[in-house]
Structure 1
Amino acid sequence: MPQRTVTIASRTGLHARPANLFVQAAAAQDVPVRIRAGDRSAPANSILAVLALGAAHGAEVTLEADDGPGADAALDALAALLARDLDAEEPAGA
C-alpha cells in the first residue's frame, strides 16, 4: 500500500478552508485515499471525517492509497497540497 507522510503546513491545520481544499482534491483522484493522524484514520474525501481528525499545524499525517494505477501520483499531489500553507494563499477568484 503506497503511503506518504507529510507535515500540515496551514496555520489552522486541517480546518475550514484548508480541509475543504484537501477534500475536494482527494475526491478528484482516481483512487480512494485515506488520511491518518495518530491512531485515527478517515477517508480523505469526507469533510466531516477529515475535520474530526483535528490535525493541527505542524502535525504529521499519513496518506494511504490502495495499490494500482495512479496511486503514487494521487498521494504525491495530496501530500504537496498539505505541505503548503493554504491559509496564506489567495482563494480562487479573489
Structure 2
Amino acid sequence: MKEFTFTITDPQGIHARPAGLLVKEAKKYAATLTILKGTKKGDLKKIFTVMGLGVKQGETVTVQAQGADEDAAAAAMEAFLKENF
C-alpha cells in the first residue's frame, strides 16, 4: 500500500468542480483509492464521498492506494492535488 498526506491550500477547499476532476482522475486506476480526513474516510472514486468530507483550506487529507497499479495511482493523485489544490 502506498500512502501520502497533503494539506489543502485552495481557499475554497475541495469544492464541487475540482472534486469531480479528482474523482475522474482516480477512476483511471485499478487500485483502490481511499481518502481520509480525521476519522472520516471514503472511496476517492465517488464524488459524494469526497464532497461529504467537507475539506477546507488548511486541512490535511491522507490518500491511500492499494492494488496492482498503486505506485502510479498514488503518484498521479499526489501530482493532481499539488496542481489543483
- TM-score between the two structures when normalised by the length of structure 2: 0.88
Distance 1:9 1:81 in 2: 13
Q: In 2, are the aligned partners of 1:26 and 1:44 still within 8 Å (CA)?
A: yes
Gaps of 5+ in 1: 87-94
Structure having the higher strand fraction is: 2
Question: How far did residue 10 of structure 1 move?
Answer: 2.6
Shift in Å at residue 11 of structure 1?
A: 2.5
Structure 2 unmatched runs, 5+: none
The Cα offsets for residues 58-80 of structure 1, whole Å up to 9 and x where unpaired, read as: 211110122x4320210111111
What is the CA distance between 1:85 and its match in structure 2? Answer: 3.5
For 1:9 and 1:83, the matched residues in 2 are separated by 9
Partner of 1:71: 70
Equivalent AA in structure 1 for residue 41 of structure 2: S
1:55 Cα deviation from its structure 2 partner: 0.8
> SS in structure 2 opposite 1:3?
strand
- State the Cα deviation string for residues 33-87 of structure 1 (Å, max 9, x = none): 0000111001001100100001112211110122x4320210111111112245x
- Aligned residues, how many? 85
> Partners in 2 of 1:74 and 1:39 — Cα distance?
23
Whole-Å separation in 2 of the counterparts to 1:4 and 1:46: 19
* TM-score of the aligned structures, taking structure 1 as reference length: 0.81
Mapping of residues 3-82 of structure 1, within 5 Å: 3-66=3-66, 68-82=67-81
